[in-house]
Amino acid sequence: MKIRKARIDSLNLRRDNFEDLFMSKDYIIEPVKGIGIFEPHRWLKEFGKLPTRNIIEAKILHTSNGLVLPLKRFAATPYKQTLEFAGLYGYTSQSKLLKSLLGDVYEHIQDTLITRIDVAIDFKRRIPKVVTTKLNKSRIPFEYRNTVYSKTASEKKTNPHINIYTYPKHLKESLDEEIMRLEFSFRGAYFRGQFQVKHLNRAILKMQKTIKRFIGLEVAIQPL
């Protein structure tokens, strides 16, 4: 089987403060949760879910071209702020705008810690059986609505190292062409605080080896 292209769909980063990067008139930072502030309905409206209890500070970053990104501080790391770039690899104009925003700040976040990377592999119509057969040898498929979650025998809601799932991407973005997405979500425990943005290439090599171990497929994760 030939080498398959894979792409980074989401990137979560952590540093002391991200807001210094967005001080111009092109950005608005809206407080949602903090001391004396709690407006969970705003978080629900923008991100489709309520802020979890372990989030002690939540803000929404608005850009002049209509993007909204979550800024969070967690109880476990109260002096660090997390910024999420979710949806970098999509088929809409929003993904292009998100990649452009990341490009604008990229040189300024080289020393920023990577806490999560979602890697997506898209297939036309269906995922090859040889891939799912290999994956099912180490993970148990669990289907919920339109998504199949591949879980270990012991894990419950989430895996702190790697979550794996497949879903019809064309339904999420109303595409004419049928596209099935296989996604690997590499979490904080996987990276163990070892990779900053400037080490992304090393992180990519590590993830490529892990993906091959799970599905037997050589992938080349494209650089940002």
CB 195 within 8 A of CB 205: no
Q: What is the mean pLDDT of residues 14-24?
A: 94
191-211 pLDDT tens trace: 998 899 999 999 999 999 999
In tens, the pLDDT along 61-115 reads 999 999 999 999 999 999 999 999 999 998 889 999 999 999 999 999 999 999 9
- Closest Cα to residue 190, out of 168, 209, 170, 171? 209
Compute the average pLDDT of residues 18-35. 94
Position 119 confidence tier, pLDDT thresholds 50, 70, 90: very high
Domain locations along the chain: 4-221
pLDDT of 154:
84
Q: How far, CA to CA in Å, does 85 sit from each of 67, 82, 123, 179, 219?
A: 10, 10, 23, 22, 22
pLDDT above 70: percentage of residues in the chain: 100
The pLDDT assigned to 173 comes to: 76
Instruction: Output 127 or 224, whichever has higher pLDDT.
Output: 127
Residue 215 pLDDT exceeds 70: yes
> What is residue 1's predicted lDDT score, i.e. its pLDDT?
62
Average pLDDT, the chain: 93
Instruction: Tell me the per-residue pLDDT of 144-199, one tens digit each, with 9 for 90 and over.
Output: 888 999 999 888 778 889 999 999 999 887 888 899 999 999 999 999 988 999 99
Q: Model-level pTM? A: 0.93
DSSP string, 84-109: EEE-SS-SSHHHHHHHHHHHHHGGG-
- DSSP letter for 222, please: P
Chain-centre distance for alpha carbon 4: 20
Note the residue count of the chain.
Answer: 224
